[in-house]
Structure 1
Amino acid sequence: MTRKRSFLFLALVLFQTLSLSLSQRTVCPIGFVMNENQDCIEHDECENEEDYDNGGLCGENAVCKNTYGSFYCQCADGFGSSTEQVTFTNPSPGQCKDINECQSMMNICPNNAECHNSSPYYSCICESGFHSSTGVESFRSGDNITCEDINECQEEEICGPNASCINTEGSFQCFCNAGFRLKSGNSSFTGNKEQCEDLCKIDLAICGNGTCHQGATGHYCSCPLGFTNYGNNKTRCTELSCDIFKDETSLKKTFPMVHGHIIQLRNSCLDLTESETPKEKNEYLLEFLISLIDKLLSSEVFNDNKKVSLFLNFVEHALRIIGPFVTPPGREKLGTYTEVKMLVYKGSELPRGPTTLSSKHAKLDIDLEVAAGDQLYYPGFTAVSLLSYFNLEKFANSYFGGIKPQKNERYQINSKVVTVTVSNTNTSHLKEPIRLTLYHLEKTNQTFHTCVFWDFSVEGGAWSTRGCKVVMSSPEYTVCSCQHLSSFAVLMALYDTEDKFDLQLITWVGLSLSLVCLFICILTFSMIRSIQSPRTTMHLHLCISLFIANLIFLAGISRTENKVGCAVVAGMLHFFYLSAFCWMCLEGIQLFRMVVLVFNTNFKTLYMMAGGYGVPAVIVAVSALVSHKEYGTDRHCWLSLDLIWSFFGPACVIIIVNIFFFLITAWKLAQKFSSLNPDLDSLQKIKAFTITAVAQLCILGTMWIFGCFQFEKGTIAMTYLFTIFGSLQGVMLFVMHCLLSKQIREEYGNISSQLFAPRKKTYSEFSYSHTRKPQGSKSTQDTGESQI
């Protein structure tokens, strides 16, 4: 075809040339022709292009463009040159080919439309589920047409009966109504391939042992007696696990006082079903449990760790059973010995995120996903409970078998015991640990606190640190992080002084010397008539109290094998040491009365006995009635830390009162000495009495001040000082009241001379002796002391 076209073109040119030659005229150049006037005019080669065979002068899919004296070819709209030339004059077959705009031009069609190529152009067609904004089927980008979503749900019964249609972009979905389901188990469908059917007919076991019914809000399950939905009546009925409330032999034998309560609690549990039981009865189950716990705690039956384990296990299971019957969002209940906080969530969707339960003694931070668990046993239900016991710490304060203390270290519970339960039954190893804040019973600056839980597997039950750690600790509280749930507490570490041989030796030697010296003081103040007075009577009973206390200390302080005997020893030591302080207080009051009020004013004997022995008797009696179990510890027959202030409290009060009286006495004495007082001899004696009383206060008071430091670690120096001052009290009292008294030394000299150098007295000596004694007696009958 190209050859033929070229040949025609050459023939035309040749013909024109020949014509001009023949006419003997001027030859027109190429692209021009001669008109009738023999003028050369421009020739439009494209004018008769369609007359050419095989697609014209430029070929198929091309157009001819005339120029002055020539022409050029260009591919038609929608086509492109195979040689990538924009214009050409020598066309070739198939030079102009169709352009695929759908591939070469990005996003040529609007959203939700498909591009379809055609020759020579293209067309945009809306996708399935969409239609054009003008209603045309196809269009191009320049037509300003968009594809809009078709709302299929407007068509009637597109999903069929018992289903609802939800429109989506470009499509729709059908969902079964409540109480209906697809046999395939799919959650949704489109078209009419499947139909929603009655759920109760498709799944005959959907309610378990219950009966399936259709209601306005879908299906629901009604449970027979002894079964429950755990708060969600759309789930299968599960048998109530009331076994913990059974009248088991162990519960009956261990807690006979609540035997009837446990039977009643089990019967109430078996009667409970969410659909048939009124709300008031469901709430009553929690209140009845709290009253049962209060009765157990008030009876003080927890005298061994097995009873504590049985009790805590019972409470944990009971809270987990009762939780599903508590109305959302939960309950708060305050008993005599308990406080419970419970959060409850019910519904098909699991709760998420952290939550916090706070009470007076503890605070719990837990993730609700951890509390919900896998929901195998409690579908549609999540509960968290925090139960605090007000007095359980004193019953569980001795069971530390799961902890390995350091040398000379022992533990004491320093928080209330709390129980944490959730509806999740798998709490042995939580995905996320809980955070439990426990507030201290004793606010101390020491940082030796330990987080523990009650481990049922250790020696019948004991405190253990496994899986728990301290996040932070302050004087007011400790924050614990634990990987499991149980009952928790915070322990405070105490440090006992070592039973060193040198301390024991000091104690035995010092107390033995004190006993000898106190015995001599007792003989002196009771048998030497010349020195007897109300003042020496106070000295006598002070020495008697210390003598008996030291003797009991030596004989029974370490006899802890017999609990009753140890408690009696602790009570007697409590009484006689307090009695010594009371007699010391009477001396201070007597000095105050003599100096500030009026000279030669003495207490009556009955009043002194009431103050010296009656007051400590009352204190010990009240302490024993309130906390008799605090008399005697595991190591010594003395007061426990919880009761120690029943001794230190009165002792500190007596010391403060005596200091007050002595300061006033000293001030009054200074005034009297500064004036010209004729009774200077009496003032000198009262001055001496005041000095000895202050010295006596320092001896007794200082010793017990050192004793206050025996509850912290690293107080070995205080331990030695306490031991030395405590064991030598009797020796120092003997030196101060007897050896430093001139009159008593003279009496000792008379007695020794009569014993070791007996001789017959003459009448004159006998007379002199009897005339001298009354003077000495008179001078000391009110004070019982001479100048130091």
Structure 2
Amino acid sequence: MGSGKELLILCLLCMLQECLSACRLGFNTQGSECVDTNECEDDPGPCGKRTQCFNTVGSYYCQCQSGFIHVRGLVNFTGTDGQCQDHNECFSEDACGHNAYCNNLIGSYKCTCHSGYTNTSSVGGHCIDMNECKEAEMNREDICGVKGSCKNVNGSYWCKCQEGFTNYGNKRNPCSELSCDSFSAGSGPAPSLGGLADILSMMRNSCLALSHQLTDAETTGDVLLEKLFTATDAILSPGDLTSSEDVSRLLGVMEDSIMLIGPQLKDNFTRIETIETDGEIAVQREKTPPTGPVHLTNKNATLDTDWATAVGTGSYPGFALAALLTYKNLEKSMNRSFEELTGHEKDGVDPSFKISSRVVSVVVSNPSPQNLSYPVNITLKHLEDAEESSRVSYVCAYWNERGAWSTAGCYQQYSNATHTVCTCEHLSSFAVLMALYPIKHTFGLLLLTKIGLTISLLCLILCILTFKFCHSIKGTRTTIHLHLCICLFMADLIFLAGISQTKPVGGCRFVAAMLHFFFLGVFTWMLLEGVQLYRMVVLVFNATIRPLYLFLTGYGTPLVIVIISAIIRLKGYGTDEHCWLSLNDGLIWSFFGPVCFIIILNVFFFIVTVWKLAQKFTSLNPDLSKLHKIKAFTVTAIAQMCILGLMWVFGAFLFQEGPVAVAYIFTILNSLLGALIFVMHCLLSKQVRDEYAHFLSCICTPQKKRYSDFSSTNPSSSQSPGSQSGQHTGESQI
């Protein structure tokens, strides 16, 4: 009842106001007239943000500004009907056309033309084709190169190259000249490597296909790269390359091939690894020369440079390339040709060199890689970790056009036990070389060597004279001992005089060959002694060996081995430090192989000999005098073999890195061997001592006294020749 009263009162009041007011809603009273009210002039306006207000007689209406739309889709509305929001014009395909990108803005949008199209208006206008060829001609730009003709196409342009030029499959690249002759076998030395001719043929065909603007799916960059590395593995897998020319030819073909293949690769970065090679190739394809750093790395090497260095200062071909190639085993074939490495002396001593890292090649698209604007840094991992030593230093070197290692333009920036950083002003194939400085032999070692070998030589001279002129011990064993001493005497004499005379190279090789021959002769005659002892125990009759057979075996066998070794690897005779066999190419086994075989055979003969002697000593009627002599002969032969074998156990480490004690032990044993032979075969033999005593008595006794003694004892001594001859005959049989 209360609410009804209030409603009634309100209605009465409204009727009263209308009766009292002369103007309707939307009008204002001005005097006696009703004038329209402009609601759009109110502050703030009745429509809200991003709208336009339109006044009408007695009212108003609102519309959204351009680029905006009502939340309920209304065109005309009032402030109470809602707000305006941004309209995304890019939803409409006709906003910018098909040749532009549409970018929505708050209340608007922007059109960005595709590459090759242009538009004078950034909003609402459609993009039209740009004639790049005409613009380049107007701006005097050569976008296709000297030997290329420009053809405009919708949204782009093509460069058509003349024969002999190519844009590597990218028709917008300038035309670059091709050099297919670099893949011709006639452009350099005839390839002696098996498989290199196949690589040359494959790359030449690909080069000619590019030159004639042909397309072949089988010759795309990725396929060619895989074929190239597979063919390279086939060349490197069998073993070491035999000559520096072969190495240089292979490296040159690989670098030229990467230059041809790189621009044809699909990706900007390509990594390929095979059994023998490892490659990283980075390519940038931009209209303008790229900038920024270049970093290529693998587990053995790292390349740090920049794209400006990779491009160079010549005309930009539309691409930039940088590649790092690593050869996993090529250092074995290139561990030579150090003649051009000079200026590394230390304390007046020239070092010996060996490769201490993998061999790497750096390839860039710079047309002048020998004159880089900025040097490149190459970090190489050492093949073996090394301790700090004054005997070792690391040298950065490159393989030059003459097929030798050189340090010109390459410097060591930093080096530790595991890596060396090289800075090089030109590009080629690189490696880290280890410079080994030989230990200077102390005065004591040099003195011991001279004294010891001199004593050995004097003892061997006495042995040779004894075995040659002592008639009481003539026999097969004496002949063997004589020539064993001759070989050992010549070996020690050549060792003393020429082991360190490394210049000239030909003379050093001759010394090494003579040492090889005579030391093998020593072991061969020692084998003949073991055979003779075996025959003396096993064979009852005809135990001697004919001298012709002895000479053919004792001197012929070492001669054949030396001749074959020299034919196969003549350069292995003589090193930078000693005139001996090289330890790097396996030639040393032409000495240690026969030596080990001879020692094994002699051990067999000595075991059988000792076993047979033991059986004869236990027999019913042994000839004790003869058995005791054979026993003594066997003991001396075994002792002789043990000292000679032990000497060369240390000799195996004498010509490489090792403690000075090895040189002392080798020298002492070498000296002991000559003295041992003299003591065992001369001084311990009663017959030889008697011969010495008789010889000395002839020298020391006056001439007249000797004559009287001879005449007085002539009758009694008339029987001695017979008895002596019988004794000699018996000894000769033994």
Length-normalised TM-score, structure 1: 0.66
Matched position secondary structure for 1:698 = helix
Matches within 5 A, 1:321-470: 321-324=259-262, 343=281, 347=285, 364=301, 373=310, 377-382=316-321, 384=323, 386=325, 388=327, 389=330, 392-401=333-342, 403=344, 410-414=352-356, 417-423=359-365, 436=380, 450=394, 452-454=396-398, 462-463=406-407, 466-467=411-412
| One of 642, 651, 667 as aligned partner of 1:707 | 651
In 2: Cα distance, 1:331 partner to 1:347 partner: 18
Q: Are 1:234 and 2:172 counterparts?
A: yes
Correspondence for 2:20: none
Q: Are 1:214 and 2:168 counterparts?
A: no
Matches within 5 A, 1:596-675: 601-642=543-584, 643-670=587-614, 672-673=616-617
Correspondence for 1:738: 682
1:471–1:481: 8 Å Cα contact kept in structure 2?
A: no
Pair 1:129–1:100, CA change in 2 (3 A): closer
Tell me how far 1:773 sits from its aligned partner: 2.0
2:359–2:430: 8 Å Cα contact kept in structure 1?
A: yes
Correspondence for 2:125: 192
Correspondence for 2:100: 164
2:300–2:380: 8 Å Cα contact kept in structure 1?
A: yes
Q: Deviations over 1:580-615 (max 9, x none)?
A: 111112222333444467686343333322321122
In 1: Cα distance, 2:700 partner to 2:579 partner: 45
Correspondence for 2:28: none
| One of 574, 586, 591 as aligned partner of 2:528 | 586
In 2: Cα distance, 1:229 partner to 1:754 partner: 102
In 2: Cα distance, 1:363 partner to 1:587 partner: 54
1:231–1:274: 8 Å Cα contact kept in structure 2?
A: no
Which amino acid is 2:710 matched to?
Answer: K
In 2: Cα distance, 1:403 partner to 1:272 partner: 49
Correspondence for 1:203: 136
2:262–2:281: 8 Å Cα contact kept in structure 1?
A: no
Is the deviation greater in 484-493 or in 613-622?
Answer: 484-493
Matches within 5 A, 1:487-498: 487-498=429-440
2:517–2:558: 8 Å Cα contact kept in structure 1?
A: yes
In 2: Cα distance, 1:645 partner to 1:223 partner: 60
Which amino acid is 1:620 matched to?
Answer: V
| One of 705, 725, 733 as aligned partner of 1:774 | 725
Correspondence for 1:534: 476
1:593–1:599: 8 Å Cα contact kept in structure 2?
A: no
Matches within 5 A, 1:3-402: 129-136=67-74, 147=85, 149-152=87-90, 154-156=92-94, 158-159=95-96, 163-166=99-102, 168=104, 172-177=109-114, 180-182=116-118, 189-192=122-125, 195-204=128-137, 205-209=142-146, 210-215=148-153, 218-239=156-177, 273=210, 276=213, 300=243, 318=256, 321-324=259-262, 343=281, 347=285, 364=301, 373=310, 377-382=316-321, 384=323, 386=325, 388=327, 389=330, 392-401=333-342
Matched position secondary structure for 2:710 = coil
Gaps of 5+ in 2: 1-8, 18-41, 55-60
User: How high is the sequence identity, in percent, across the aligned residues?
Assistant: 37
Q: Are 1:726 and 2:677 counterparts?
A: no
1:632–1:638: 8 Å Cα contact kept in structure 2?
A: yes
In 1: Cα distance, 2:596 partner to 2:437 partner: 24
2:654–2:662: 8 Å Cα contact kept in structure 1?
A: yes
2:301–2:360: 8 Å Cα contact kept in structure 1?
A: no
Tell me how far 1:181 sits from its aligned partner: 3.7
Correspondence for 2:633: 689
Tell me how far 1:696 sits from its aligned partner: 1.0
Pair 1:301–1:410, CA change in 2 (3 A): closer
Pair 1:741–1:471, CA change in 2 (3 A): same
Pair 1:468–1:666, CA change in 2 (3 A): farther
Pair 1:636–1:592, CA change in 2 (3 A): same
Which amino acid is 1:767 matched to?
Answer: S
Tell me how far 1:705 sits from its aligned partner: 2.1
Q: Deviations over 1:447-474 (max 9, x none)?
A: 968463318799x96247724655764x
Is the deviation greater in 552-561 or in 576-585?
Answer: 552-561
2:300–2:358: 8 Å Cα contact kept in structure 1?
A: no
In 2: Cα distance, 1:234 partner to 1:501 partner: 75
Matched position secondary structure for 1:203 = helix
Which amino acid is 1:159 matched to?
Answer: C
Q: Deviations over 1:200-246 (max 9, x none)?
A: 22223321321112347832101224543255321222455799999
In 2: Cα distance, 1:596 partner to 1:146 partner: 124
Q: Deviations over 1:168-224 (max 9, x none)?
A: 46555534455x24388xxx9433297542222222332132111234783210122
Gaps of 5+ in 1: 1-43, 53-96, 103-108, 474-478, 784-788
1:385–1:422: 8 Å Cα contact kept in structure 2?
A: no
Pair 1:723–1:714, CA change in 2 (3 A): same
In 2: Cα distance, 1:243 partner to 1:556 partner: 50
Tell me how far 1:526 sits from its aligned partner: 1.9
Tell me how far 1:153 sits from its aligned partner: 5.4
In 2: Cα distance, 1:562 partner to 1:208 partner: 57
Pair 1:775–1:196, CA change in 2 (3 A): same
Correspondence for 1:504: 446
Q: Deviations over 1:63-95 (max 9, x none)?
A: xxxxxxxxxxxxxxxxxxxxxxxxxxxxxxxxx
Pair 1:773–1:326, CA change in 2 (3 A): farther
Correspondence for 2:32: none
Correspondence for 2:23: none
2:393–2:436: 8 Å Cα contact kept in structure 1?
A: no
Tell me how far 1:271 sits from its aligned partner: 6.7
1:345–1:383: 8 Å Cα contact kept in structure 2?
A: yes
Matches within 5 A, 1:528-567: 528-567=470-509
Matched position secondary structure for 2:96 = coil
Q: Deviations over 1:139-192 (max 9, x none)?
A: 999989784652435253x436x72344546555534455x24388xxx94332
Matched position secondary structure for 1:159 = coil
Correspondence for 2:26: none
Matched position secondary structure for 2:574 = coil
Q: Are 1:514 and 2:456 counterparts?
A: yes
Which amino acid is 1:136 matched to?
Answer: L
Aligned residue pairs: how many?
A: 654
Is the deviation greater in 561-570 or in 387-396?
Answer: 387-396
1:181–1:199: 8 Å Cα contact kept in structure 2?
A: no
In 1: Cα distance, 2:608 partner to 2:684 partner: 25
Tell me how far 1:438 sits from its aligned partner: 6.9
Correspondence for 1:24: none
Is the deviation greater in 569-578 or in 630-639?
Answer: 630-639
Tell me how far 1:678 sits from its aligned partner: 1.8
1:623–1:646: 8 Å Cα contact kept in structure 2?
A: yes
In 2: Cα distance, 1:328 partner to 1:228 partner: 17
2:502–2:574: 8 Å Cα contact kept in structure 1?
A: yes
Pair 1:155–1:482, CA change in 2 (3 A): same
Matched position secondary structure for 2:680 = helix
| One of 569, 583, 586 as aligned partner of 2:511 | 569
Pair 1:128–1:640, CA change in 2 (3 A): farther
Correspondence for 1:106: none
Larger radius of gyration: 1
Q: Deviations over 1:113-160 (max 9, x none)?
A: 869999xxxx9997864534421369999989784652435253x436
Which amino acid is 2:643 matched to?
Answer: I
